[in-house]
Amino acid sequence: MNTRPAIENPNNPVALSASFNQDASCFTVGLENGFSIFGSEPCQLRGSRDFNTQGIGLMAMLGKTNYVAITGGGKNPKYTPFEVIIWDELKSLEFIRLRFRSHVRGVKISRTHIVVALQNSIHVYKLEKAPKVRAVFETSENPFGLCCLTPKTLAFPGRTPGQVQLVELSTQNVSIIPAHGSALRAIDISRDGEVLATASETGTLVRVFATGNCAKLAELRRGVDHATIFSLAIAPSGQLLAVTSDKSTLHIFDIPHPSKPARAEGGSASRMLTSQSGGGNLAMSDADTSHKWGFLGRIPLLPRVFSDVYSFASAHFEIGDEPTFGGPNSPPGAMLPPPKGVIGWTTDESLIVIGAGRGGKWEKFVIAEGEDGKRYCVRSGWKNYLGVN
C-alpha cells in the first residue's frame, strides 16, 4: 500500500520535534506555529493547536489524555527555552509552568511524575497542581536530553560519560550501570521496566541490561563503521529491539528478557509475506543476519566482529536531505536539528518510524515471516504527515 500523497504542500510548517506517547498509539509534533497530535496507526491527525507564528519545540504526551508537556522552539518560540509548560488541550490553557536556569534538553511525563533534562542535571517533580522539585541528579553532558520514565523507574546518563543512572522512584535509590566507554547517544527501557537498552556516540554496539540487578543480558552489533544512533525502542513484549541510525537503516534484534523464556523459532512473526501483497509496494529487507558470518563466528582467533550478534532483519527508512543530529559539541544553548528515525512499536509485529523537518515522514514497518521460514522487516506504507488532515 503506497500511501504517499500525490503532491506535497511546500507551505506546510516545519516540524521541530516528533515523539511518541508511552504506548506509541499517538505521536506529537512541535511546529513553527504550534503543535499537532497524530494517531500512529493509521496516521491520522487527532488535534492541533495554532499559535500563529510562535513555535513549539520539545513535546511529551501523557498517554491518551489531553495533557502534553511542551517547550518553546524555532525562530520565534512561544515560550523561553528555560521553561516547561504542561498544557491542557481540552481546556486550551496552561496547567503548570516550570522555570529553570538553563536550556531544557528533554522532558518526560507520566501519571505521577514530570522529569526535565537539562544539560547537566535531571529534575524530578510529582505531577500535581503546584509541583515542587522532589529530586535533582547531576549528569554528564546531556545535549540530547536523554531520559526514560516508567511508572517505577527513571533512567538517564550518569556523572561519568557512558554510565547510566537507574533511579527507583518510590525510594530514590540509585544504581549505576557502566554501559559504555564513551558518551551515551540513546537509551530506552521496556514498558514493564525490566530491560534497558543503550548505545553510545560510537554507534557500533548496543548493550542490553536487566534493570533488576544491572546485569548485562546481551551485546549487539549494529555494524562495524561509526554511526550516529537516532533511536532505540524495545517492543511491548520486551524481547525485540529496533535501532535507527544516520546510515538510513532500521535494524531489528532479538533480545533476552530476564523473566521470560527465549523466543521460539518462528514464534513471534505471525504475519506472512504472502498476506502483505494485497496491491501495495513492499520494501523487503535483508533477513536473518544474526549469524552473519556462519562458521567463521566459531573460529576463536578471528576478530570479535565475526562472532558478534547482528540484527535478524533490517530495512531502509527515509532521512531526507536536511541536516540530522550531529555530535554533542554544539554550544549549550544551541538549537539542535530536527530529530529523525524516531521509533514507536505499536505491537510486537508493527512499528512506526517518524522524522521531523520540512518533509516530516511517517513510515510503517511490519515483522513478517517469509515462505522460507525466516523473518523479514517490511515497509508497508508511508506518508508526509504534515500534509495529513
- Average pLDDT (110-126) is 97
Residue 360 lies in a domain: yes
d(CA 39, CA 255): 28
d(CA 217, CA 262): 12
Residue 28 lies in a domain: yes
pLDDT at 297: 47
Residue 5 lies in a domain: no
pLDDT at 274: 54
Q: What is the mean pLDDT of the chain?
A: 87
Q: How many domains does the chain have?
A: 1
pLDDT at 353: 98
Residue 124 lies in a domain: yes
Q: What is the domain extent for residue 168?
A: 15-387
| Cβ neighbours for 191, distance < 8 A, ≥ 6 positions apart | 22, 23, 150, 234, 236, 238
pLDDT at 232: 98
User: Per-residue pLDDT for 3 more than 70?
Assistant: no
- CB < 8 Å & 24+ apart, contacts of 207-216: 207/179, 207/180, 208/241, 208/255, 208/256, 209/164, 209/177, 209/179, 210/258, 211/153, 211/155, 211/166, 212/258, 214/166, 214/175, 214/176, 214/177, 215/258
Residue 2 lies in a domain: no
Strand order in the sheet with 249-254: 229-234, 240-245, 249-254, 313-316
What CATH number did the domain enclosing 310 receive? 2.130.10.10
User: Per-residue pLDDT for 296 more than 70?
Assistant: no
Residue 262 binned pLDDT confidence (cut-offs 50, 70, 90): confident
pLDDT at 287: 47
Highest mean pLDDT among 261-265, 358-362, 365-369: 365-369
Amino acid (one-letter) located at 357: G
Residue 7 lies in a domain: no
Residue 332 binned pLDDT confidence (cut-offs 50, 70, 90): very low
Residue 359 binned pLDDT confidence (cut-offs 50, 70, 90): confident
Residue 118 lies in a domain: yes
Residue 267 lies in a domain: yes
Query: Comparing 247-251, 261-265, 294-298, which segment has the lowest mean pLDDT?
Result: 294-298
pLDDT at 93: 92
Query: Comparing 207-216, 261-270, 351-360, which segment has the lowest mean pLDDT?
Result: 261-270
